[in-house]
Amino acid sequence: MLTLESVTYRYAGAPRPSLHDVSLELHSGEVLGLIGASEAGKTTLCLVASGLAPRTMGGTLTGRVLVDGEDTAPLAMHELAGRIGIAFASPATQLSGVAATVYEEVAFGPMNLGVPRSELIARTEEALTALRIESLADRDPALLSGGQQQLVAIAGLLALRPAHLVLDEPTAQLDPAGTAMVAAALAGLAAGGASILVAEQKTDLLLGICSRVLVIDSGRAVLDGPAAEILTGPQLADLGVAPPAAIRLRRAAVNASLPAATLARLDEAIAHAMPQ
Amino acid sequence: MTTALAVLAGGLLGPALLTAVAVVVPAVIGRIFGRLLRTALLLTLPIAVSVLVVNLFFFPAGRDVLFQLGPVTATAEGLEFALETLARIGAISGAITLFYLTTPPSELVLDLERRGVSPRIAFVALASVQTVPALVERAATITAAQRARGLDTEGSLWRRLRGVLPLAGPVLLGSITEVEARTLALEARGFTRPGRRTLLWWPPDSARQRLARWVLVLAVPLLLVARALGWLGWLN
Ligand SMILES: Nc1ncnc2c1ncn2[C@@H]1O[C@H](COP(=O)(O)OP(=O)(O)O)[C@@H](O)[C@H]1O
Ligand SMILES: [Mg+2]
Protein backbone atom coordinates (compact mmCIF):
# COMPACT_ATOMS: atom_id res chain seq x y z
CA MET A 1 0.00 0.00 0.00
CA LEU A 2 1.23 3.49 -0.92
CA THR A 3 -0.01 6.16 1.47
CA LEU A 4 0.19 9.95 1.44
CA GLU A 5 -0.69 11.52 4.77
CA SER A 6 -1.57 15.24 4.69
CA VAL A 7 1.17 16.02 2.19
CA THR A 8 1.95 19.64 1.44
CA TYR A 9 4.76 20.25 -1.02
CA ARG A 10 6.37 23.44 -2.27
CA TYR A 11 8.92 23.57 -5.11
CA ALA A 12 12.23 25.24 -4.33
CA GLY A 13 11.84 28.98 -4.84
CA ALA A 14 8.07 28.79 -5.41
CA PRO A 15 5.97 31.34 -3.49
CA ARG A 16 3.15 28.87 -2.71
CA PRO A 17 2.86 25.13 -2.23
CA SER A 18 1.77 23.17 -5.32
CA LEU A 19 0.11 20.50 -3.17
CA HIS A 20 -1.99 21.32 -0.11
CA ASP A 21 -2.76 18.74 2.52
CA VAL A 22 -3.27 15.83 0.12
CA SER A 23 -4.00 12.38 1.52
CA LEU A 24 -4.49 9.22 -0.51
CA GLU A 25 -4.19 5.47 -0.28
CA LEU A 26 -3.25 3.20 -3.16
CA HIS A 27 -3.95 -0.40 -2.24
CA SER A 28 -2.18 -3.40 -3.73
CA GLY A 29 -3.87 -4.46 -6.94
CA GLU A 30 -5.72 -1.16 -7.24
CA VAL A 31 -5.58 1.20 -10.23
CA LEU A 32 -6.18 4.77 -9.10
CA GLY A 33 -6.80 7.44 -11.73
CA LEU A 34 -5.59 10.97 -11.05
CA ILE A 35 -7.31 13.74 -12.98
CA GLY A 36 -7.38 17.52 -12.90
CA ALA A 37 -6.92 20.53 -15.15
CA SER A 38 -3.48 21.57 -16.44
CA GLU A 39 -1.37 22.96 -13.61
CA ALA A 40 -3.67 21.35 -11.04
CA GLY A 41 -0.74 19.46 -9.54
CA LYS A 42 -0.90 16.00 -11.14
CA THR A 43 2.78 15.87 -12.01
CA THR A 44 3.70 17.26 -8.61
CA LEU A 45 1.65 14.55 -6.88
CA CYS A 46 3.36 11.88 -9.01
CA LEU A 47 6.80 13.25 -8.13
CA VAL A 48 5.93 13.26 -4.43
CA ALA A 49 4.43 9.77 -4.53
CA SER A 50 7.53 8.38 -6.25
CA GLY A 51 9.89 10.12 -3.85
CA LEU A 52 11.58 12.23 -6.55
CA ALA A 53 10.16 15.30 -4.80
CA PRO A 54 11.83 16.42 -2.64
CA ARG A 55 14.83 14.04 -3.10
CA THR A 56 15.81 15.04 -6.62
CA MET A 57 13.57 18.11 -7.12
CA GLY A 58 14.46 19.88 -3.87
CA GLY A 59 11.68 21.91 -2.25
CA THR A 60 9.98 21.30 1.08
CA LEU A 61 7.52 18.58 2.02
CA THR A 62 5.41 18.24 5.14
CA GLY A 63 3.27 15.23 5.93
CA ARG A 64 4.34 11.64 5.27
CA VAL A 65 4.73 9.27 2.34
CA LEU A 66 4.59 5.61 3.39
CA VAL A 67 5.15 2.35 1.51
CA ASP A 68 3.45 -0.61 3.17
CA GLY A 69 3.25 1.37 6.39
CA GLU A 70 6.95 2.32 6.39
CA ASP A 71 7.84 6.00 6.36
CA THR A 72 9.95 6.69 3.24
CA ALA A 73 11.59 9.84 4.59
CA PRO A 74 14.90 8.17 5.56
CA LEU A 75 15.22 6.28 2.25
CA ALA A 76 17.51 7.46 -0.55
CA MET A 77 16.19 7.59 -4.10
CA HIS A 78 17.99 4.41 -5.14
CA GLU A 79 16.43 2.60 -2.21
CA LEU A 80 12.98 3.75 -3.30
CA ALA A 81 13.62 2.82 -6.94
CA GLY A 82 12.86 -0.84 -6.30
CA ARG A 83 9.66 -0.05 -4.39
CA ILE A 84 7.90 2.68 -6.38
CA GLY A 85 8.43 3.08 -10.11
CA ILE A 86 7.57 6.24 -12.05
CA ALA A 87 7.07 6.87 -15.77
CA PHE A 88 6.65 10.25 -17.44
CA ALA A 89 4.90 11.70 -20.45
CA SER A 90 7.90 12.16 -22.69
CA PRO A 91 8.97 8.81 -24.12
CA ALA A 92 12.41 9.79 -25.37
CA THR A 93 13.77 11.49 -22.23
CA GLN A 94 12.99 8.46 -20.11
CA LEU A 95 15.35 6.26 -22.06
CA SER A 96 18.73 5.86 -20.44
CA GLY A 97 20.49 6.98 -23.61
CA VAL A 98 23.20 4.37 -23.14
CA ALA A 99 21.44 1.23 -24.30
CA ALA A 100 21.96 0.05 -27.85
CA THR A 101 19.03 -2.38 -27.64
CA VAL A 102 15.62 -2.50 -25.98
CA TYR A 103 16.83 -5.48 -23.95
CA GLU A 104 19.68 -3.46 -22.44
CA GLU A 105 17.35 -0.51 -21.89
CA VAL A 106 14.90 -2.61 -19.88
CA ALA A 107 17.80 -4.09 -17.91
CA PHE A 108 19.21 -0.65 -17.03
CA GLY A 109 17.33 -0.20 -13.72
CA PRO A 110 18.16 -3.58 -12.14
CA MET A 111 21.73 -3.21 -13.46
CA ASN A 112 22.01 -0.03 -11.40
CA LEU A 113 20.64 -1.85 -8.37
CA GLY A 114 23.42 -4.41 -8.76
CA VAL A 115 21.17 -7.48 -8.80
CA PRO A 116 22.98 -10.73 -9.70
CA ARG A 117 23.33 -11.28 -13.43
CA SER A 118 21.07 -14.34 -13.62
CA GLU A 119 18.31 -12.43 -11.84
CA LEU A 120 18.95 -9.43 -14.10
CA ILE A 121 18.22 -11.59 -17.12
CA ALA A 122 15.13 -13.14 -15.52
CA ARG A 123 13.72 -9.73 -14.59
CA THR A 124 14.40 -8.26 -18.02
CA GLU A 125 12.72 -11.11 -19.84
CA GLU A 126 9.78 -11.09 -17.47
CA ALA A 127 9.26 -7.34 -18.02
CA LEU A 128 9.50 -7.69 -21.80
CA THR A 129 6.91 -10.49 -21.66
CA ALA A 130 4.58 -8.55 -19.37
CA LEU A 131 4.35 -5.77 -21.96
CA ARG A 132 4.44 -8.16 -24.93
CA ILE A 133 7.45 -6.44 -26.46
CA GLU A 134 9.77 -9.46 -26.68
CA SER A 135 9.90 -8.90 -30.43
CA LEU A 136 11.46 -5.46 -29.90
CA ALA A 137 14.29 -6.82 -27.71
CA ASP A 138 17.03 -6.36 -30.31
CA ARG A 139 15.84 -3.02 -31.68
CA ASP A 140 17.54 0.34 -31.03
CA PRO A 141 15.25 2.11 -28.51
CA ALA A 142 16.00 5.52 -30.04
CA LEU A 143 14.46 4.43 -33.33
CA LEU A 144 11.11 3.16 -32.00
CA SER A 145 7.76 4.94 -32.23
CA GLY A 146 6.67 7.01 -29.23
CA GLY A 147 4.16 4.38 -28.17
CA GLN A 148 6.75 1.61 -28.37
CA GLN A 149 9.25 3.74 -26.43
CA GLN A 150 6.64 4.29 -23.71
CA LEU A 151 6.14 0.52 -23.44
CA VAL A 152 9.90 0.10 -23.17
CA ALA A 153 10.01 2.75 -20.42
CA ILE A 154 7.26 0.97 -18.48
CA ALA A 155 9.00 -2.38 -18.96
CA GLY A 156 12.14 -0.72 -17.59
CA LEU A 157 10.15 0.13 -14.46
CA LEU A 158 8.67 -3.35 -14.11
CA ALA A 159 12.18 -4.79 -14.24
CA LEU A 160 12.84 -2.93 -10.98
CA ARG A 161 9.95 -4.99 -9.51
CA PRO A 162 8.37 -2.08 -7.65
CA ALA A 163 5.32 -2.75 -5.50
CA HIS A 164 3.64 0.33 -6.98
CA LEU A 165 3.74 2.11 -10.33
CA VAL A 166 3.21 5.84 -10.76
CA LEU A 167 2.50 6.95 -14.33
CA ASP A 168 2.36 10.65 -15.15
CA GLU A 169 0.26 11.11 -18.29
CA PRO A 170 1.85 8.16 -20.08
CA THR A 171 -0.09 8.84 -23.29
CA ALA A 172 0.01 12.66 -23.36
CA GLN A 173 2.63 12.83 -26.09
CA LEU A 174 1.44 9.88 -28.13
CA ASP A 175 -0.62 9.67 -31.30
CA PRO A 176 -3.88 7.64 -31.24
CA ALA A 177 -2.08 4.43 -32.21
CA GLY A 178 0.51 4.92 -29.46
CA THR A 179 -2.22 5.78 -26.95
CA ALA A 180 -4.10 2.60 -27.81
CA MET A 181 -0.90 0.60 -27.45
CA VAL A 182 -0.16 1.99 -23.97
CA ALA A 183 -3.82 1.76 -22.89
CA ALA A 184 -3.86 -1.93 -23.79
CA ALA A 185 -0.64 -2.49 -21.87
CA LEU A 186 -2.05 -0.69 -18.80
CA ALA A 187 -5.22 -2.74 -18.97
CA GLY A 188 -3.07 -5.87 -19.07
CA LEU A 189 -1.07 -4.76 -16.03
CA ALA A 190 -4.25 -3.77 -14.17
CA ALA A 191 -5.82 -7.15 -14.91
CA GLY A 192 -2.62 -8.78 -13.68
CA GLY A 193 -3.06 -7.19 -10.25
CA ALA A 194 -0.49 -4.36 -10.43
CA SER A 195 -1.00 -1.38 -8.19
CA ILE A 196 -0.92 1.77 -10.28
CA LEU A 197 -1.41 5.50 -9.76
CA VAL A 198 -2.02 6.96 -13.21
CA ALA A 199 -2.45 10.66 -14.00
CA GLU A 200 -4.36 11.09 -17.27
CA GLN A 201 -6.28 13.78 -19.11
CA LYS A 202 -7.83 11.08 -21.29
CA THR A 203 -10.79 10.07 -19.12
CA ASP A 204 -11.87 7.50 -21.73
CA LEU A 205 -8.70 5.59 -21.03
CA LEU A 206 -9.25 5.75 -17.26
CA LEU A 207 -12.80 4.47 -17.61
CA GLY A 208 -11.52 1.13 -18.84
CA ILE A 209 -8.80 0.51 -16.25
CA CYS A 210 -9.45 2.39 -12.99
CA SER A 211 -11.44 1.30 -10.01
CA ARG A 212 -11.09 4.62 -8.26
CA VAL A 213 -10.45 8.20 -9.33
CA LEU A 214 -8.99 11.14 -7.45
CA VAL A 215 -9.58 14.65 -8.76
CA ILE A 216 -7.24 17.47 -7.82
CA ASP A 217 -7.80 21.18 -8.30
CA SER A 218 -5.22 23.85 -7.52
CA GLY A 219 -3.16 21.38 -5.51
CA ARG A 220 -6.03 20.10 -3.38
CA ALA A 221 -7.77 16.73 -3.53
CA VAL A 222 -11.39 17.65 -4.21
CA LEU A 223 -13.05 14.36 -5.19
CA ASP A 224 -12.21 10.74 -4.46
CA GLY A 225 -14.49 7.86 -5.33
CA PRO A 226 -15.41 4.97 -7.63
CA ALA A 227 -14.24 5.59 -11.22
CA ALA A 228 -17.63 5.07 -12.87
CA GLU A 229 -19.32 7.50 -10.48
CA ILE A 230 -16.81 10.33 -10.73
CA LEU A 231 -16.08 10.02 -14.45
CA THR A 232 -19.78 10.09 -15.32
CA GLY A 233 -20.73 12.64 -12.66
CA PRO A 234 -21.68 16.24 -13.33
CA GLN A 235 -18.75 17.99 -11.59
CA LEU A 236 -15.92 17.08 -13.96
CA ALA A 237 -16.38 19.87 -16.48
CA ASP A 238 -16.28 22.51 -13.72
CA LEU A 239 -12.94 21.10 -12.61
CA GLY A 240 -11.45 21.56 -16.07
CA VAL A 241 -11.55 17.89 -17.08
CA ALA A 242 -13.22 16.64 -20.24
CA PRO A 243 -15.62 13.77 -19.40
CA PRO A 244 -15.38 10.53 -21.41
CA ALA A 245 -16.73 10.67 -24.96
CA ALA A 246 -19.71 8.46 -24.12
CA ILE A 247 -20.84 10.88 -21.40
CA ARG A 248 -20.46 13.89 -23.67
CA LEU A 249 -22.44 12.01 -26.30
CA ARG A 250 -25.19 11.28 -23.77
CA ARG A 251 -25.39 14.95 -22.78
CA ALA A 252 -25.49 16.07 -26.38
CA ALA A 253 -28.30 13.55 -27.02
CA VAL A 254 -30.31 14.89 -24.09
CA ASN A 255 -29.76 18.49 -25.21
CA ALA A 256 -30.90 17.57 -28.72
CA SER A 257 -34.14 16.14 -27.25
CA LEU A 258 -33.72 12.73 -28.87
CA PRO A 259 -36.61 10.26 -28.37
CA ALA A 260 -36.62 8.33 -25.08
CA ALA A 261 -36.16 4.99 -26.87
CA THR A 262 -32.95 6.21 -28.52
CA LEU A 263 -31.67 7.54 -25.19
CA ALA A 264 -32.42 4.21 -23.54
CA ARG A 265 -30.44 2.34 -26.17
CA LEU A 266 -27.58 4.83 -25.80
CA ASP A 267 -27.59 4.30 -22.02
CA GLU A 268 -27.46 0.58 -22.56
CA ALA A 269 -24.42 0.95 -24.79
CA ILE A 270 -22.73 3.28 -22.29
CA ALA A 271 -23.42 0.96 -19.36
CA HIS A 272 -21.86 -1.80 -21.42
CA ALA A 273 -18.70 0.26 -21.82
CA MET A 274 -18.40 1.12 -18.11
CA PRO A 275 -16.13 -0.83 -15.77
CA GLN A 276 -17.96 -3.20 -13.49
CA MET B 1 51.34 0.54 -26.66
CA THR B 2 52.69 0.39 -30.19
CA THR B 3 52.94 4.16 -29.96
CA ALA B 4 55.11 4.11 -26.85
CA LEU B 5 57.33 1.44 -28.39
CA ALA B 6 57.75 3.41 -31.58
CA VAL B 7 58.99 6.43 -29.67
CA LEU B 8 61.34 4.35 -27.55
CA ALA B 9 62.78 2.24 -30.31
CA GLY B 10 64.16 5.30 -32.05
CA GLY B 11 65.87 5.26 -35.40
CA LEU B 12 64.15 4.49 -38.67
CA LEU B 13 64.08 0.72 -38.88
CA GLY B 14 62.60 0.18 -35.39
CA PRO B 15 59.33 2.05 -35.82
CA ALA B 16 59.01 0.78 -39.38
CA LEU B 17 59.34 -2.83 -38.25
CA LEU B 18 56.95 -2.22 -35.42
CA THR B 19 54.35 -0.66 -37.71
CA ALA B 20 54.62 -3.67 -39.98
CA VAL B 21 54.19 -6.19 -37.16
CA ALA B 22 51.72 -4.45 -34.86
CA VAL B 23 49.67 -2.41 -37.33
CA VAL B 24 49.92 -3.59 -40.92
CA VAL B 25 49.73 -7.35 -40.28
CA PRO B 26 46.66 -7.17 -37.96
CA ALA B 27 44.98 -4.73 -40.35
CA VAL B 28 45.54 -7.01 -43.33
CA ILE B 29 44.27 -10.01 -41.36
CA GLY B 30 41.26 -7.96 -40.26
CA ARG B 31 40.69 -6.90 -43.92
CA ILE B 32 40.67 -3.21 -43.06
CA PHE B 33 44.07 -2.25 -44.42
CA GLY B 34 42.57 -0.04 -47.15
CA ARG B 35 40.47 1.96 -44.73
CA LEU B 36 43.35 2.11 -42.27
CA LEU B 37 45.72 3.49 -44.89
CA ARG B 38 43.24 6.10 -46.07
CA THR B 39 42.31 7.28 -42.56
CA ALA B 40 45.87 7.30 -41.26
CA LEU B 41 47.11 9.20 -44.32
CA LEU B 42 44.37 11.80 -44.01
CA LEU B 43 45.18 12.17 -40.35
CA THR B 44 48.92 12.60 -40.71
CA LEU B 45 49.52 14.12 -44.15
CA PRO B 46 49.59 17.77 -42.99
CA ILE B 47 51.98 17.02 -40.12
CA ALA B 48 54.09 14.72 -42.25
CA VAL B 49 54.58 17.33 -44.99
CA SER B 50 55.56 20.03 -42.54
CA VAL B 51 57.94 17.72 -40.68
CA LEU B 52 59.60 16.80 -43.95
CA VAL B 53 59.93 20.39 -45.25
CA VAL B 54 61.13 21.91 -41.98
CA ASN B 55 63.72 19.26 -41.22
CA LEU B 56 64.95 18.79 -44.75
CA PHE B 57 65.74 22.47 -45.19
CA PHE B 58 66.23 23.85 -41.70
CA PHE B 59 67.89 21.07 -39.69
CA PRO B 60 70.28 23.03 -37.44
CA ALA B 61 73.11 20.49 -37.50
CA GLY B 62 72.82 19.87 -41.23
CA ARG B 63 76.23 19.87 -42.99
CA ASP B 64 75.98 17.36 -45.83
CA VAL B 65 74.35 19.34 -48.65
CA LEU B 66 71.97 17.40 -50.87
CA PHE B 67 70.68 20.20 -53.12
CA GLN B 68 69.88 23.90 -53.12
CA LEU B 69 66.48 25.39 -53.65
CA GLY B 70 66.75 29.18 -53.94
CA PRO B 71 67.85 30.53 -50.58
CA VAL B 72 67.47 27.23 -48.68
CA THR B 73 69.62 24.13 -48.55
CA ALA B 74 68.48 20.57 -48.11
CA THR B 75 70.80 18.51 -45.93
CA ALA B 76 71.27 14.76 -45.59
CA GLU B 77 71.13 14.98 -41.78
CA GLY B 78 67.86 16.84 -42.09
CA LEU B 79 66.45 14.18 -44.38
CA GLU B 80 67.51 11.41 -42.03
CA PHE B 81 65.96 13.10 -39.03
CA ALA B 82 62.76 13.80 -40.99
CA LEU B 83 62.47 10.17 -42.04
CA GLU B 84 62.99 8.95 -38.49
CA THR B 85 60.30 11.29 -37.22
CA LEU B 86 57.99 10.25 -40.03
CA ALA B 87 58.48 6.59 -39.11
CA ARG B 88 57.40 7.33 -35.57
CA ILE B 89 54.44 9.42 -36.66
CA GLY B 90 53.46 6.62 -39.02
CA ALA B 91 53.55 4.08 -36.20
CA ILE B 92 51.60 6.35 -33.85
CA SER B 93 48.87 7.27 -36.30
CA GLY B 94 48.68 3.69 -37.60
CA ALA B 95 48.20 2.35 -34.07
CA ILE B 96 45.58 4.96 -33.17
CA THR B 97 43.69 4.45 -36.42
CA LEU B 98 43.76 0.68 -36.01
CA PHE B 99 42.32 1.05 -32.51
CA TYR B 100 39.64 3.44 -33.75
CA LEU B 101 38.63 1.19 -36.63
CA THR B 102 38.50 -2.02 -34.61
CA THR B 103 37.00 -0.86 -31.31
CA PRO B 104 33.37 0.34 -31.08
CA PRO B 105 33.28 3.06 -28.37
CA SER B 106 30.49 1.31 -26.49
CA GLU B 107 32.61 -1.85 -26.15
CA LEU B 108 35.56 0.16 -24.94
CA VAL B 109 33.44 1.84 -22.26
CA LEU B 110 31.89 -1.43 -21.08
CA ASP B 111 35.30 -3.03 -20.88
CA LEU B 112 36.63 -0.10 -18.85
CA GLU B 113 33.65 -0.35 -16.49
CA ARG B 114 34.25 -4.08 -16.06
CA ARG B 115 37.83 -3.22 -15.09
CA GLY B 116 36.60 -0.89 -12.36
CA VAL B 117 36.04 2.51 -13.97
CA SER B 118 33.18 4.29 -12.18
CA PRO B 119 29.72 3.60 -13.65
CA ARG B 120 29.06 7.34 -13.79
CA ILE B 121 32.15 8.08 -15.83
CA ALA B 122 31.25 5.16 -18.05
CA PHE B 123 27.70 6.51 -18.36
CA VAL B 124 28.84 9.96 -19.41
CA ALA B 125 31.23 8.47 -21.95
CA LEU B 126 28.59 6.12 -23.33
CA ALA B 127 25.82 8.70 -23.33
CA SER B 128 27.93 11.13 -25.32
CA VAL B 129 28.73 8.42 -27.86
CA GLN B 130 25.10 7.36 -28.15
CA THR B 131 23.67 10.88 -28.04
CA VAL B 132 25.49 12.22 -31.06
CA PRO B 133 23.18 10.42 -33.52
CA ALA B 134 20.17 11.70 -31.54
CA LEU B 135 21.46 15.29 -31.73
CA VAL B 136 22.03 14.91 -35.44
CA GLU B 137 18.52 13.53 -35.83
CA ARG B 138 16.99 16.38 -33.86
CA ALA B 139 18.90 18.89 -35.96
CA ALA B 140 17.49 17.19 -39.05
CA THR B 141 13.94 17.32 -37.68
CA ILE B 142 14.24 20.99 -36.78
CA THR B 143 15.80 21.74 -40.15
CA ALA B 144 12.84 20.09 -41.86
CA ALA B 145 10.40 22.03 -39.66
CA GLN B 146 12.12 25.35 -40.27
CA ARG B 147 12.34 24.66 -43.98
CA ALA B 148 8.64 23.90 -44.03
CA ARG B 149 8.18 27.40 -42.64
CA GLY B 150 10.26 28.85 -45.44
CA LEU B 151 13.71 28.98 -43.89
CA ASP B 152 16.60 28.55 -46.31
CA THR B 153 18.87 25.65 -45.45
CA GLU B 154 20.00 25.03 -48.98
CA GLY B 155 21.65 27.19 -51.63
CA SER B 156 24.72 29.41 -51.32
CA LEU B 157 27.00 29.19 -48.31
CA TRP B 158 25.89 32.52 -46.88
CA ARG B 159 22.21 31.72 -47.30
CA ARG B 160 22.76 28.37 -45.69
CA LEU B 161 24.62 29.90 -42.76
CA ARG B 162 21.78 32.35 -42.21
CA GLY B 163 19.44 29.39 -42.34
CA VAL B 164 21.41 27.23 -39.96
CA LEU B 165 22.07 29.81 -37.22
CA PRO B 166 18.44 29.88 -36.02
CA LEU B 167 18.69 26.11 -35.59
CA ALA B 168 21.42 26.33 -32.95
CA GLY B 169 18.96 27.73 -30.40
CA PRO B 170 16.31 25.01 -30.55
CA VAL B 171 18.89 22.22 -30.80
CA LEU B 172 20.74 23.39 -27.68
CA LEU B 173 17.77 24.63 -25.66
CA GLY B 174 15.93 21.43 -26.41
CA SER B 175 18.76 19.43 -24.93
CA ILE B 176 19.03 21.68 -21.87
CA THR B 177 15.35 21.45 -20.89
CA GLU B 178 15.67 17.73 -21.38
CA VAL B 179 18.34 17.51 -18.72
CA GLU B 180 15.90 17.78 -15.80
CA ALA B 181 13.56 15.19 -17.30
CA ARG B 182 16.48 12.85 -17.93
CA THR B 183 17.84 13.34 -14.42
CA LEU B 184 14.48 12.45 -12.86
CA ALA B 185 14.14 9.37 -15.02
CA LEU B 186 17.69 8.20 -14.24
CA GLU B 187 17.33 8.68 -10.50
CA ALA B 188 13.99 6.85 -10.52
CA ARG B 189 15.90 3.90 -11.98
CA GLY B 190 18.44 3.72 -9.23
CA PHE B 191 21.26 5.42 -11.12
CA THR B 192 22.56 7.24 -8.02
CA ARG B 193 23.19 4.04 -6.09
CA PRO B 194 26.84 3.96 -5.09
CA GLY B 195 28.98 0.97 -5.99
CA ARG B 196 29.40 -1.27 -9.01
CA ARG B 197 26.56 -2.09 -11.38
CA THR B 198 25.77 -5.53 -12.74
CA LEU B 199 26.85 -5.67 -16.35
CA LEU B 200 24.72 -7.55 -18.83
CA TRP B 201 27.62 -8.26 -21.14
CA TRP B 202 31.13 -7.14 -21.92
CA PRO B 203 33.37 -7.61 -24.90
CA PRO B 204 35.10 -11.01 -24.96
CA ASP B 205 38.78 -10.97 -24.03
CA SER B 206 40.52 -13.99 -25.49
CA ALA B 207 43.69 -15.57 -24.13
CA ARG B 208 45.48 -14.46 -27.31
CA GLN B 209 44.42 -10.85 -26.78
CA ARG B 210 45.67 -10.97 -23.20
CA LEU B 211 48.96 -12.48 -24.34
CA ALA B 212 49.45 -9.83 -27.01
CA ARG B 213 48.78 -7.10 -24.45
CA TRP B 214 51.30 -8.53 -21.99
CA VAL B 215 53.97 -8.88 -24.68
CA LEU B 216 53.53 -5.22 -25.60
CA VAL B 217 53.50 -4.08 -21.98
CA LEU B 218 56.66 -6.02 -21.15
CA ALA B 219 58.37 -4.80 -24.31
CA VAL B 220 58.28 -1.21 -23.07
CA PRO B 221 60.66 -1.59 -20.09
CA LEU B 222 62.80 -4.01 -22.09
CA LEU B 223 63.26 -1.53 -24.90
CA LEU B 224 63.87 1.24 -22.40
CA VAL B 225 66.71 -0.73 -20.82
CA ALA B 226 68.05 -1.88 -24.16
CA ARG B 227 68.15 1.63 -25.48
CA ALA B 228 69.76 3.02 -22.34
CA LEU B 229 72.50 0.37 -22.61
CA GLY B 230 73.05 1.23 -26.26
CA TRP B 231 72.05 -2.19 -27.64
CA LEU B 232 69.85 -0.72 -30.33
CA GLY B 233 72.60 0.73 -32.48
CA TRP B 234 72.00 -1.89 -35.22
CA LEU B 235 68.55 -0.45 -35.87
CA ASN B 236 69.92 2.83 -37.18
N1 LIG C 1 9.67 22.92 -11.04
C2 LIG C 1 8.70 23.72 -10.60
N3 LIG C 1 8.98 24.81 -9.83
C4 LIG C 1 8.01 25.62 -9.38
N5 LIG C 1 6.71 25.44 -9.62
C6 LIG C 1 6.35 24.39 -10.36
C7 LIG C 1 7.31 23.48 -10.89
N8 LIG C 1 6.65 22.54 -11.59
C9 LIG C 1 5.34 22.82 -11.50
N10 LIG C 1 5.15 23.94 -10.76
C11 LIG C 1 3.87 24.54 -10.41
O12 LIG C 1 3.13 23.61 -9.66
C13 LIG C 1 1.75 23.64 -10.05
C14 LIG C 1 1.29 22.25 -10.45
O15 LIG C 1 1.96 21.88 -11.64
P16 LIG C 1 1.93 20.40 -12.21
O17 LIG C 1 2.06 19.45 -11.08
O18 LIG C 1 2.94 20.31 -13.29
O19 LIG C 1 0.46 20.35 -12.81
P20 LIG C 1 -0.18 19.30 -13.84
O21 LIG C 1 0.75 18.14 -13.99
O22 LIG C 1 -1.49 18.93 -13.23
O23 LIG C 1 -0.38 20.02 -15.12
C24 LIG C 1 1.63 24.67 -11.17
O25 LIG C 1 1.16 25.86 -10.64
C26 LIG C 1 3.05 24.82 -11.65
O27 LIG C 1 3.26 26.10 -12.13
MG1 LIG D 1 1.72 17.33 -15.64
Say if residue A26's pLDDT is above 70: yes
Determine the number of helices (DSSP H) and then strands (DSSP E) in chain A. 12, 10
Q: Average of pLDDT values for A24-44?
A: 94
**Is residue A168 a contact partner of residue A199, using CB atoms and an 8 Å limit?**
yes
Question: Which of B181, B192, B198 comes nearest A111 by C-beta?
Answer: B198
Neighbours of ion ligand 2 (CB under 5 A): A 42-43
Q: What percent of chain A is predicted at pLDDT more than 90?
A: 65
Instruction: Quote the CA–CA distance of B99 and B103 in Å, as a whole number.
Output: 6
Q: Average of pLDDT values for B78-94?
A: 82
Do A88 and B184 lie within an 8 Å CB cutoff?
Answer: yes
The per-residue pLDDT for range B135-167, each reduced to its tens digit, is: 677 667 777 776 777 666 566 667 666 666 666
What was the pLDDT predicted at B196? 85
Domain ranges, residue A6? 2-273
According to DSSP, the β-strands at B72-75 and A19-26 are unpaired
* Strand order across the beta sheet in which A19-26 lies: A19-26, A2-10, A60-67, A70-71
Higher per-residue pLDDT: B109 or B235: B109
Helix (H) or strand (E) holding B81: helix B76-102
Q: How far is A247 from chain B (nearest CA, A)?
A: 35
Query: How many structural domains comprise chain A?
Result: 1
Centre of ligand 2 to C-alpha B60, Å, is 72
What was the pLDDT predicted at B1? 47
The pTM of the full predicted model, rounded to 2 decimals, is: 0.77
**Is residue A166 a contact partner of residue A134, using CB atoms and an 8 Å limit?**
no
The per-residue pLDDT for range B103-124, each reduced to its tens digit, is: 777 777 788 888 888 877 888 7
Q: At what angle do helices B119-148 and B157-188 cross, to 10 degrees?
A: 140
Instruction: Quote the CA–CA distance of A129 and A125 in Å, as a whole number.
Output: 6
Q: Is A9 in the pocket of ligand 1 (CB under 6 A)?
A: no
Confidence of residue B228 (pLDDT cuts 50, 70, 90): confident
Confidence of residue B45 (pLDDT cuts 50, 70, 90): confident
Q: Is A18 in the pocket of ligand 1 (CB under 6 A)?
A: yes
Q: Please give the ipTM for the structure prediction.
A: 0.89
Chain B 83-142, residues with CB within 8 Å of chain A CB atoms:
106, 119, 123, 126-127, 130-131, 133-134, 137
Higher per-residue pLDDT: A205 or A137: A137
The per-residue pLDDT for range A160-218, each reduced to its tens digit, is: 999 999 999 999 999 888 898 888 888 888 888 889 999 998 898 898 889 999 999 99
Say if residue A32's pLDDT is above 80: yes
CATH of the domain at A250: 3.40.50.300
Ligand 1 pocket, mutate which of A9, A10, A11, A241 (most atoms under 8 A from CB): A11
Say if residue B185's pLDDT is above 90: yes
The per-residue pLDDT for range B9-26, each reduced to its tens digit, is: 555 666 777 777 777 777
What was the pLDDT predicted at A251? 82
Confidence of residue A31 (pLDDT cuts 50, 70, 90): very high
B/e letters for A47-72, b = 16+ CB within 10 Å, e = fewer, are bbbbbbbbbbbebebeeebebeeeeb
What was the pLDDT predicted at B236? 54
Centre of ligand 1 to C-alpha A33, Å, is 19
What was the pLDDT predicted at B65? 79
Q: Average of pLDDT values for B31-58?
A: 82
The per-residue pLDDT for range A56-90, each reduced to its tens digit, is: 999 999 999 999 999 999 999 999 999 999 999 99
